Structure 1
Amino acid sequence: MALLSPLPPSPWPRFSEPLKLAVLASGNGSNLEAIATAIAQGDLHAQVQVVIYNNPKAKVAERAERLGLPKVLLNHRHYPSREALDQDIISTVQAHGADWVIMAGWMRCVTQVLIDAFPGKVLNIHPSLLPSFPGIHAVDQALAAGVKVSGCTVHHVELKVDSGPIIIQAVVPVLPDDTPDTLQARIQVQEHRIYPAAIALAASQMA
């Protein structure tokens, strides 16, 4: 595997106070666990203040509970607009003392309301080498296009989906017999590798 962007120098940057993270997730939460593991190992100087999830059946809730992390359900179906949901996200993030919003499999488009509340501090991870294959079903898009490499990207969030400045990318080869599941699994290994490092790098760039 290869990186298209260098990881921060080892040890990763440390700050006078740990970064205060709010993690947004809609699914299994494997990237949440990768971030929590990096924190526990002392690689990422941060704390997960709250896990926000929008799907009542999301496995991330069980993972957050096992990790001893506060969790809050904000079911998007109960909101009249995306802006209303984002306003509640902002209130929840602030109430838990966080100031970084880490989208880790958050399957909702965010609005300028959220982006403006945490300028430069809203990050996302996407399973492709952006700007190629933004949006949903990125792995399927890559296989359909017949590319020889794919990968993942951590980037700052802007209003246009998957368009913000890139922080770190990792490359994964596409094998001749790959299926969406097998390629996704190899990409996810790299997601777990680069997301904690990208958080540290993004914070160091703002220091």
Structure 2
Amino acid sequence: MSIAVFASGSGSNFEELVHRSREENWPEQVTLLVCDKPGAGVLERADRLGVPARVFEPKSYPDKAAYERDVLALLTERGIRWVVLAGYMRLVGPTLLKAYPWRIINLHPSLLPAFKGKQAIEQAFHHPVKISGVTVHFVDEGLDTGPIIDQLPVRIEPADTLERFAEKIHRAEHELLPRTVRRLITGEIPLPDQPADL
């Protein structure tokens, strides 16, 4: 049993997860990358790290359910037990949620429930607030609404530019995500009660 990472972008959090899981000899390793963007930078990282990767293009499917059925077939074939969304820019639908109740987690670059959705870093910087941060949470059917697992605050200093603040957020992501995944797969963090309809 192992971990799949879903990513749509450059993949720095994916790479950090792979390195940490290997360095710390986690009982479950990252053994699959699922990407929805052909040509995304994360695919090059997966190739360099020797992690199998598959691209599923949503526009090639008639609907989200058909897309997720194909993804789920691969996850099942590969013995995936956990799904980590790390810069995956799609809402997860019922097909995957029912197959992986409380075993899909997401990394979000704000202190939820503040600044949900896209461009959370920019939203926090321009709001302005003095502290933002990063959140890892269980995924449910909503947009960044699932139960929060852990958070790491990041202060916005008066001298920070947007670029500098974004770098601080990314450093916090690289710290929080691997730590949280390791605690989950070792049972240190309990799972929420199963939803009644699953």
Q: Work out whether the TM-score is over 0.5.
A: yes
Residue 124 (structure 1) aligned with residue 112 (structure 2): no
**Structure 1's 45 and 82: CA in aligned 2 closer, same or farther, altered over 3 A?**
same
- Classify the secondary structure of the residue corresponding to 1:46: coil
- Quote the residue 1:161 is aligned against: 143
CA distance in 1, matches of 2:68, 2:143: 15
CA distance in 2, matches of 1:200, 1:166: 16
Structure 1: segments with no counterpart, 5+ residues = 1-18
Deviations 1:146-173 (A, max 9, x none): 1001110000001111011111111111
- Quote the residue 1:151 is aligned against: 133
- Quote the residue 2:194 is aligned against: none
Deviations 1:33-59 (A, max 9, x none): 111111121263321121010101100
- The alpha carbon displacement at 1:180 in A equals 3.1
CA distance in 1, matches of 2:136, 2:11: 16
TM-score normalised to the size of structure 2?
A: 0.90
8 A Cα contact 1:44 1:197, kept in partner: no
Residue 85 (structure 1) aligned with residue 63 (structure 2): no
- Quote the residue 2:121 is aligned against: 139
How much identity, in percent, do the aligned residues show? 37
Deviations 1:105-131 (A, max 9, x none): 001111121111111100100000001
User: Which letter maps to 1:151?
Assistant: G
| Most deviating of 63-72 and 36-45 | 36-45
Write out aligned runs for 1:1-20 (5 A).
Answer: 20=2
CA distance in 1, matches of 2:157, 2:60: 42
- The alpha carbon displacement at 1:72 in A equals 0.4
User: Which letter maps to 2:61?
Assistant: Y
Aligned counterpart in structure 1 of residue 86 of structure 2, from 94, 104, 110? 104
- Quote the residue 1:26 is aligned against: 8
- The alpha carbon displacement at 1:187 in A equals 0.6
CA distance in 1, matches of 2:152, 2:117: 18
CA distance in 2, matches of 1:45, 1:173: 34
CA distance in 1, matches of 2:162, 2:9: 17
TM-score normalised to the size of structure 1?
A: 0.86
RMSD of Structure 2 on Structure 1 (CA) = 1.5
